[in-house]
Amino acid sequence: MHIDEALSTTRAVRRRLDPSREVPVELVRDCVDLALQAPAGSAVTRTRFVVVRDPTLRKGLADLYSDVYRHSYRDSPGYIGRVPTSDPAAARRQQRTARSADALDRALHEVGTLVVGCLDGVRLDGVPAMTSSSLLGGVLPAIWSFMLAARARGLGTCWTTMHLAREREAAELLDIPYDRVQQVCLTPLAWTVGTDFRRAGRPSVDEVVHWDGWDATRAGPEPLKGVLRPS
């Protein structure tokens, strides 16, 4: 797959995950191997991948995700189906995305491989923005590279952070040392129903680029309110 195609068609796959086909361990290893080539701060690789394939552990992790999704996120102002917009086309896109997110909540229990991306060696609770940005900047590119590698092999992923509201319980479930390893995201990993993913509707370049400083006259998204707080 050409790199431009991978970059422009790696979607958050929710409704088109195919849990009926098992993902070979060799493919998971290939994706991790490529992910490790991503930039790492100070040349120290702190990214870790916890690959969950045991049915009992997968169910426990999916249950944590669903508990947060159904009992906190769905009723919050931040739920995509409730975010206000005056643009009818944008409203329709939001409702489609809401249906897709609801579908992932149901599908996650069926997917045979779940992957938790982690930052090893430090927790970022309450640290300055520069520190958190620097350390997460050494992890997030690797996880994204993992997803791009998966896309190139016909596999679907979806970056989620919902279970982090119950991160300590997930750590106990998976024997992750909570005091020195921070979970960053959770993604399903599965074959997709079809491979014909397209570019998503996004702002134009001119809408998001600010030349030589911030242009305060340019309209941006509504301020984010009602952010879900970990319990």
Q: What is the full per-residue pLDDT of the chain (231 aa) written as tens digits?
A: 899 999 999 999 999 999 999 999 999 999 999 999 999 888 889 999 999 999 999 999 999 999 999 999 888 877 877 777 777 877 788 888 888 888 999 899 999 999 999 999 999 999 999 999 999 999 999 999 999 999 999 999 999 999 999 999 999 999 999 999 999 999 999 999 999 999 988 889 999 999 999 998 887 877 766 554 443
Q: Is residue 110 part of a domain?
A: yes
Q: Which domain holds residue 114?
A: 9-197
Question: Does the residue 119 lie in any domain?
Answer: yes
CATH number, domain at 88? Answer: 3.40.109.10
Tell whether 135 is covered by a domain: yes
Q: What is the pLDDT of residue 230?
A: 42
> Residue 216: inside a domain, yes or no?
no
Domain membership of residue 189 (yes or no) is yes
Query: Does the residue 229 lie in any domain?
Result: no
pLDDT of residue 211: 94
The answer to whether position 16 is within a domain reads: yes
Residue 211 lies in a domain: no
HEC string of the chain equals CCHHHHHHHCCECCCCEECCCCCCHHHHHHHHHHHCCCCCHHHCCCEEEEEECCHHHHHHHHHHHHHHHHHHHCCCCCCCCCCCCCCHHHHHHHHHHHHHHHHHHHHCCCCCCEEEEEEECECCCCCCHHHHHHHHCCCHHHHHHHHHHHHHCCEEECCECHHHHHHHHHHHHHCCCCCCEEEEEEEECEEECCCCCCCCCCCCHHHHCCCCCCCCCCCCCCCCCCCCCCC
pLDDT for the residue numbered 225: 63
Q: What is the pLDDT of residue 231?
A: 33
What pLDDT does residue 76 have? 83
If one counts the domains in the chain, the total is 1
